[in-house]
Amino acid sequence: MARRLANDEAELPSEPSLYLLIWGLQRARDLRPDEDMGFSSFNLPGENSAPPSPAQQFPVILRDGPEVGMHTLLWCDTYANLMRTVDRRLLREFDQRITFQMSAEDSTNLLDTPAAAKLGLYRALFYNEEDGRLEKFRPYGLPSTEWLETVSRQLHKTYQE
């Protein structure tokens, strides 16, 4: 990411987009903010500084990554577990959010509306931070591998023509 941030803006379009996928943020303890308030990174003059920890790099990726083509998709089991890693300020970096049924308080904190508390089974909400749009939808299961391969071949064929 540091290399991308240092690059000239003219070079960025040639760089492919990168995606950081995190399935189960609640298990990624290395990404949680340091409990020691950053004192572990204190070095005396002349000492080599340690590279930043994942907990220090993660907020930078969330905040500055989209600007340089680095995007984050994550899934977390509960709002409380999400807040252990992502503070309220960083939550605003996620322009698009999908939620299932949750408490009115968690829904209000995450979406600025208690609407997710009223969802029934097999329903979800899509929230777009940029325009404040909230859409109710019915999520579907993952498609089969065969279907994905067929669609992939068709798309690949279409774009080669």
Max mean pLDDT range (27-31, 50-54, 128-132)? 27-31
- Structural domain containing residue 60: 2-160
| pLDDT at 137 exceeding the cut of 90 | yes
Instruction: Give the tens place of pLDDT for each residue, 62-84.
Output: 999 999 999 999 999 999 999 99
Total count of domains within the chain? 1
pLDDT at 71: 95
| pLDDT at 92 exceeding the cut of 80 | yes
- What is the pTM (predicted TM-score) of this model? 0.72
pLDDT at 4: 67
pLDDT at 49: 76
Give which of 29, 110, 21 is closest to 72, Cα–Cα. Answer: 21
Give which of 113, 139, 142, 106 is closest to 127, Cα–Cα. Answer: 113
pLDDT at 143: 86
Burial of 101 (0-12, 13-18, 19+ CB in 10 A): middle
Q: How many angstroms separate the CA atoms of 14 and 84, rounded? A: 36
Q: Are strands 124-128 and 96-99 parallel, antiparallel or unpaired?
A: antiparallel
Give the Å distances, CA to CA, from 89 to 13, 54, 83: 28, 18, 10
Q: How many angstroms separate the CA atoms of 65 and 52, rounded? A: 16
Instruction: Give the tens place of pLDDT for each residue, 30-67.
Output: 999 976 555 555 555 656 678 899 999 999 999 999 99
pLDDT at 8: 60
Region 127-139: what's the mean pLDDT? 93
Region 72-99: what's the mean pLDDT? 94
pLDDT at 158: 76
pLDDT at 47: 63
pLDDT at 151: 92
